[in-house]
Amino acid sequence: MLEKQISEVQAAALVRIGAARSPEDLESVRVDVLGRKGALALISKEMGKLAPEERARTGKLLNQAKDDLESLILAAQNKFSAQTMAVRLDAEWIDVTLPAPGPRPGSLHPITQIQMEIEDLFVSLGFMVLDGPEVETEYHNFDALNIPPEHPARDAQDTFWLTDGNLLRTHTSPVQVRGMERFSPPLRMIAPGRAFRNESVDASHEHTFYQLEGMMIDRDVSVAHLLYFMKTLLAEIFRREVTVRLRPGFFPFVEPGFELDIQCVICGGAGCPVCKQSGWVELLPCGLVNPNVLRISGIDPEKWNGFAFGLGLTRLVMMRYGIDDIRLLQSGDLRFLQQF
Ligand SMILES: [Zn+2]
């Protein structure tokens, strides 16, 4: 009786194994037939009622059926694993002989880009590009620029002083002093670079910013020369003719000194939030070099004169690209930088 049940269970299991379409199908056959509460386990329980001789024969038959089914299920499972592996190998196939993709392409920081453009322009106009130390002496940063210790202009610039009496330059102007000391006129030079001020950082103030200052010393230099160079510079930067105006401004190293404004390039002078509805944007301080500054650096102001200007590269980049938070520029955030 039990022997018949065993062969029925075995036959039904064989049909299910043959029809299995997934490892899950096989697993459910295994649980139903070979599991602790499976069909064969139930039969095994019944065997206690058999006569010893019959029990031995049935037991042998039962074990044989278990072994056969187990190996059949295992074989079928192996077939599924091999198929799955074959599909994966096909999908994830890599040609290791291909050349490596290489590093992702980088790009220049927008400040570097604008600095290089302006350098190219001034080199084409006969200017030298000078570099100077970021840690400066008090003399080069202030005294030689006609800013003596008691001068109020020192208060306007919150300076990072070093314990040895030197400082982090508050502008790139000391490079011009070094240029005048080293080269004799006629002289045309620009000095791009980093400057530092002890500012509270917010959307429009940074402790580290980029400037570009320029100076031309020759005979009979006038405000007309200054205006010509500034208009050429701004037309290049904004890639169009710009309208400028000069207002009197005070800077110790120039006399007369000016604030140069440009007509707002966003609204064309009609008024908008960028120009605070005035139609004009204050862009750069400039003027004719103060004779004292020439004299301090050993140039005879009776024979030579010149103009000087300062340009905020950081400010310029923000205007060109409409960047409204200065902190983004120094953040090192790739999502920001990859746009340029
Ligand atoms: Zn405007």
pLDDT in tens, 84-109: 889 888 888 888 888 888 888 888 99
Which residues does 95 contact at the CB level (< 8 Å), separation at least 6? none
* pLDDT of the residue at 189: 95
Task: Tell me 205's DSSP state.
Answer: B
Task: Give pLDDT tens digits for 106-158.
Answer: 889 999 999 999 999 999 999 999 999 999 998 888 888 888 777 776 766 68
Task: Report yes or no: 285 and 257 within 8 Å, Cβ to Cβ.
Answer: yes
Q: For the chain, what is the total number of helices (H) and then of strands (E)?
A: 11, 9
Any idea which residue has 């077939």 for tokens? 79
Please give the mean pLDDT across all residues of the chain: 88
* pLDDT of the residue at 157: 61
Q: 3-state DSSP call for residue 200? A: coil
* pLDDT of the residue at 253: 86
Q: How far is the CA of 118 from the centre of ligand 1 (A)?
A: 24
In angstroms, what CA-CA distances link 69 with 16, 23, 65? Answer: 11, 15, 6
Task: Give pLDDT tens digits for 214-239.
Answer: 999 999 999 999 999 998 888 888 88
Q: Report the pLDDT averaged over residues 164-184.
A: 89
Q: How far is the CA of 89 from the centre of ligand 1 (A)?
A: 61
* pLDDT of the residue at 286: 93
Nearest in space to 188 (alpha carbons), one of 199, 179, 197, 196: 179
Q: How far is the CA of 281 from the centre of ligand 1 (A)?
A: 8
Task: Give pLDDT tens digits for 6-65.
Answer: 888 888 888 999 888 888 898 999 999 888 888 888 888 888 888 888 888 888 888 998
Max distance between CA atoms of the chain, in angstroms, equals 135
Distance CA 162, CA 240 (A): 43
Q: What tokens appear for 168 in the block? A: 């982090």
* pLDDT of the residue at 156: 60
Bond before 256 cis per omega within 30 degrees: yes
Distance CA 5, CA 7 (A): 6
Distance CA 256, CA 290 (A): 8
Distance CA 177, CA 195 (A): 15
Any idea which residue has 């005979």 for tokens? 219
Chain length of the chain: 340
Q: What tokens appear for 300 in the block? A: 């005879």
112-134 as b/e: b if 16+ CB within 10 A = eebbeebeebbeeeebebbebee
Distance CA 154, CA 170 (A): 10
Q: How far is the CA of 205 from the centre of ligand 1 (A)?
A: 21
pLDDT of residue 288 exceeding 90: yes
Q: How far is the CA of 36 from the centre of ligand 1 (A)?
A: 83
Q: Specify the DSSP element, H or E, that contains 261.
A: strand 254-263
> pLDDT > 90: what percent of the chain?
31
Q: How far is the CA of 235 from the centre of ligand 1 (A)?
A: 17
Q: How far is the CA of 322 from the centre of ligand 1 (A)?
A: 12
User: What is the DSSP pairing of strand 254-263 with strand 280-289?
Assistant: antiparallel
Question: For 277, left (φ over 0), alpha (ψ -120 to 50), or beta?
Answer: left
Distance CA 153, CA 293 (A): 15
Which residues does 153 contact at the CB level (< 8 Å), separation at least 6? 147, 251, 252
Task: Report yes or no: 227 and 246 within 8 Å, Cβ to Cβ.
Answer: yes
Distance CA 147, CA 135 (A): 18
Q: How far is the CA of 12 from the centre of ligand 1 (A)?
A: 86
Any idea which residue has 């020759």 for tokens? 218
* pLDDT of the residue at 234: 87
Q: How far is the CA of 274 from the centre of ligand 1 (A)?
A: 5
* pLDDT of the residue at 54: 85
Distance CA 213, CA 171 (A): 9
Any idea which residue has 């610039």 for tokens? 157
